[in-house]
Chains A and B, each alone.
Chain A
Amino acid sequence: MDRSRLRRVSPNEWRIDPLGAMRVPAVIFADAALIDGMDDKVAEQICNVACLPGIVEAAYALPDAHWGYGFPIGGVAAFDAAADGVICAGGVGFDISCGVRTLLTGLTRADIEPQKLALADSLFRQVPAGLGSRGKLDLEPAEMDAMLHGGAGWAVERGYGSAEDLPLVEEGGVMAGALASAVSDKAKTRQRQEMGTLGSGNHYLEVQEIVEVTDPAAAAVFGLRLGAIVVSIHCGSRGLGHQIATDYQREMAIAMPQLGITVPDLDLACAPIRSELGARYLGAMRAAINCALANRQIITELTRRVFKHYFPREKLDLLFDVSHNTCKQETHRVAGRARDLFVHRKGATRAFGPGHGELPPELWKVGQPVFIGGSMGTRSAIMMGIGDGEERAFASACHGAGRQLSRHQALKRWHGRQVVDDLAAAGVIIRSPSPRGVAEEAPGAYKDIGAVVEAAHAAGLARKVAMLAPVVCIKG
């Protein structure tokens, strides 16, 4: 990224003051090396976000930010409905409520190692992954609507997991305000057989070893021990979310002239939060959040059943479930005043600090777990929200390493079979229906996650807790 437009306000914070149609500054959290490696499009896109009506304080890009559409991936912006603020489908993204949940085990690497291949094969058989895969459920219309209103709670009622899981899911597992009636028949048709599926691209189910603990006290509260095995599931609202985004982005793009809104990029198509269209999208988007929560709950149960076969005493308790493509209504203090805001996080994780009322009591002492996903051969990180993180980016932290090479470039550089073989030699077992998909997601296609984690920590967005290394990875 060209630094000439940026004003460095601290070692990990860069600012672009309002210019032209920008209503607020744009702020990028990153160290100098990450800034130098970022595409100029990130600055362009975050400045475009700063032009949207009703935006509050600033438009933020996080250390893993990369070129997206409309918002950059790793973008955060909050809007005030009372100040004609907007809701933007492109500010949430296509994979609504894509997120990560992590399950705890009492196992160590030594326990897993003899069963690793069989475990990988069983997980690959039992958890549908990749294009064209179907889940075991086929949702009739009434059941679809029940799922869209009930989220992870709906899945628990049908035997997927336990009620003890729900407090450890954002929103208690059920997003309030969902409107199944605002979801198109096309979206529901697309989802009918996709419940309990991982999807493809960067989605995964990964068995991981805790290889580093940097905050032992927080790790103890989270139930993380050095050398222990955890399981992380990364996926979202599948076809339903994709179709809702498609439907509403189009409708907003066509409606904007009548709504009196102009945007610098059509992927920022939006509607006032207090308009009929804005309210309808909000209801549909919340229904998609419930779909994602239900999806990860079902996959959790499928995973538990596989582990139970090999390790009968393992329960795989849920550590936490966080979404990273959402718009949530939250109260934040801005200039000393509490304001009711609609916080868009696209490729960004909510990171509430200790004692926050949205967290379950067992996490009050520390803060919300923040999961930062790696890519097959690279480490993942667990961080936690911090008290004064609320002052930065509306309590948000990054969600992944962020790509440094396009899929196109990755395909030219790696072959899927070779990536699988190389990782196997390094002790990481990959199972995927798609060698080409593996090549596109090769670990080298992503930025150094360590640098992203360090920058998030140093910027005060979240605090480091532990690092995880992959052992088995199921890729879509």
Chain B
Amino acid sequence: MTEEQAVQFPHGADIGVRGTGATRAAAFAQAAAALAASVVEPATVSPIEVVSITCSAPDDRLLLCDWLNAVIYEMAVRRMVFRRFEVSLQGQSLEGRAWGEAIDPARHAPAVEPKGATMSGLKVAQARDGTWVAECIVDV
């Protein structure tokens, strides 16, 4: 069974986020988890509130960009930090849910404020072993 992973990788002044999973949807969810972890240590976040997010795009790469930008937008306007994500995909339409809580700067000690998902390093692909990878550079 493919292990789901949320990973950050170096990119100059910004941060790379990579999600992997058995499905495209799982990889998208894990990419968002990596994004959330670039902001706060996940263990400090209680997943007590859920936010629904929908988006659609002409192709997989733009859909990943839209999804991560939607998560960034919800973080900003709700002043929330997130820990866990679920995604379901129907073609190029995405329905997602994000669990987290209102930010408490003293407890969460947020590191950076994501500004937006960039398009240069966008990657949505399936490896030979069937694992899906969703990858993006986030400007912080």
Once bound together, how far apart are the Cα atoms of A41 and B121, in whole Å? 13
Nearest A residue (CB) for B14 = A69
Residues of B close to A440: CB separation below 8 A: 111-112
> Is B43 an interface residue when CB atoms closer than 8 A count as contact?
no
User: Which one, A201, A267, A408, A435, contacts B9 given CB within 8 A?
Assistant: A408
Q: Is the CB of B105 within 8 A of A39?
A: no
Residues of A close to B66: CB separation below 8 A: 250
B7 to chain A, nearest CB (A): 11
B118 to chain A, nearest CB (A): 4
Residues of B close to A200: CB separation below 8 A: 110-113, 140
Given A186-B73, A201-B112, the answer on whether A253 and B119 have CB atoms closer than 8 Å is yes
> Is A239 an interface residue when CB atoms closer than 8 A count as contact?
yes
Query: Digit string of B69-85 for contact with A (CB within 8 Å is 1, else 0)?
Result: 10011011101010000
> Is B13 an interface residue when CB atoms closer than 8 A count as contact?
yes
Residues of B close to A434: CB separation below 8 A: 105, 109-111
User: Which one, A189, A269, A403, contacts B12 given CB within 8 A?
Assistant: A403
Once bound together, how far apart are the Cα atoms of A200 and B109, in whole Å? 12
Once bound together, how far apart are the Cα atoms of A69 and B116, in whole Å? 11
Given A94-B139, A190-B73, the answer on whether A131 and B115 have CB atoms closer than 8 Å is no
Q: Is the CB of B113 within 8 A of A253?
A: no
Q: Is the CB of A94 within 8 A of B115?
A: yes
Query: Digit string of B114-138 for contact with A (CB within 8 Å is 1, else 0)?
Result: 0111111110000000000000010
Residues of A close to B117: CB separation below 8 A: 246
Residues of B close to A130: CB separation below 8 A: 105, 110, 113
Given A245-B116, A437-B111, the answer on whether A132 and B105 have CB atoms closer than 8 Å is yes
Once bound together, how far apart are the Cα atoms of A70 and B11, in whole Å? 13
A158 to chain B, nearest CB (A): 23
Q: Is the CB of B13 within 8 A of A68?
A: yes
Q: Is the CB of B105 within 8 A of A250?
A: no
A223 to chain B, nearest CB (A): 32
Nearest A residue (CB) for B61 = A266
Q: Is the CB of A269 within 8 A of B110?
A: no
> Is B39 an interface residue when CB atoms closer than 8 A count as contact?
yes
> Is B33 an interface residue when CB atoms closer than 8 A count as contact?
no
Q: Is the CB of B76 within 8 A of A190?
A: yes
Q: Is the CB of A433 within 8 A of B113?
A: no
> Is A66 an interface residue when CB atoms closer than 8 A count as contact?
yes
Q: Is the CB of B109 within 8 A of A435?
A: yes
Given A67-B11, A408-B8, the answer on whether A201 and B119 have CB atoms closer than 8 Å is no
> Is A199 an interface residue when CB atoms closer than 8 A count as contact?
yes
Given A200-B112, A434-B109, the answer on whether A408 and B119 have CB atoms closer than 8 Å is no
> Is B103 an interface residue when CB atoms closer than 8 A count as contact?
yes
Q: Is the CB of A67 within 8 A of B12?
A: yes
Residues of B close to A73: CB separation below 8 A: 12-13
B35 to chain A, nearest CB (A): 13
Once bound together, how far apart are the Cα atoms of A139 and B78, in whole Å? 16
Residues of B close to A68: CB separation below 8 A: 12-14
Given A69-B14, A186-B73, A440-B111, the answer on whether A133 and B119 have CB atoms closer than 8 Å is no
> Is B91 an interface residue when CB atoms closer than 8 A count as contact?
no
Q: Is the CB of A131 within 8 A of B139?
A: no
B48 to chain A, nearest CB (A): 16
> Is B22 an interface residue when CB atoms closer than 8 A count as contact?
no
B112 to chain A, nearest CB (A): 5
Q: Is the CB of A94 within 8 A of B116?
A: yes
> Is B89 an interface residue when CB atoms closer than 8 A count as contact?
no
Once bound together, how far apart are the Cα atoms of A267 and B41, in whole Å? 29
User: Which one, B15, B69, B81, B103, contacts A407 given CB within 8 A?
Assistant: B15
Q: Is the CB of A189 within 8 A of B15?
A: no
> Is A242 an interface residue when CB atoms closer than 8 A count as contact?
yes
B77 to chain A, nearest CB (A): 6
Q: Is the CB of A265 within 8 A of B12?
A: no
Once bound together, how far apart are the Cα atoms of A234 and B61, in whole Å? 33
Once bound together, how far apart are the Cα atoms of A254 and B103, in whole Å? 34
Q: Is the CB of A95 within 8 A of B120?
A: no
Q: Is the CB of B62 within 8 A of A246?
A: no
Once bound together, how far apart are the Cα atoms of A287 and B130, in whole Å? 46
Residues of B close to A201: CB separation below 8 A: 112-113, 140
Residues of A close to B106: CB separation below 8 A: 433
> Is B31 an interface residue when CB atoms closer than 8 A count as contact?
no
Given A131-B110, A434-B110, the answer on whether A69 and B137 have CB atoms closer than 8 Å is yes
Q: Is the CB of B116 within 8 A of A246?
A: yes
Once bound together, how far apart are the Cα atoms of A190 and B9, in whole Å? 27
User: Which one, A95, A266, A476, contacts B115 given CB within 8 A?
Assistant: A95
- 4 further A-B contacts with Cβ under 8 Å, apart from A131-B110, A132-B103, A242-B72, are A70-B118, A90-B118, A266-B61, A476-B113
A-B contacts, 26 listed (Cβ < 8 Å):
A69-B14, A69-B119, A70-B118, A93-B139, A95-B115, A130-B110, A130-B113, A131-B105, A131-B112, A132-B105, A134-B79, A190-B77, A200-B111, A200-B140, A242-B72, A242-B76, A245-B115, A249-B116, A267-B120, A406-B10, A433-B105, A433-B106, A433-B109, A435-B109, A436-B109, A436-B111
User: Using a CB–CB distance below 8 Å, which chain B residues touch chain A?
Assistant: 8-15, 39, 41, 58, 61-62, 65-66, 69, 72-73, 75-77, 79, 81, 103, 105-106, 109-113, 115-122, 137, 139-140
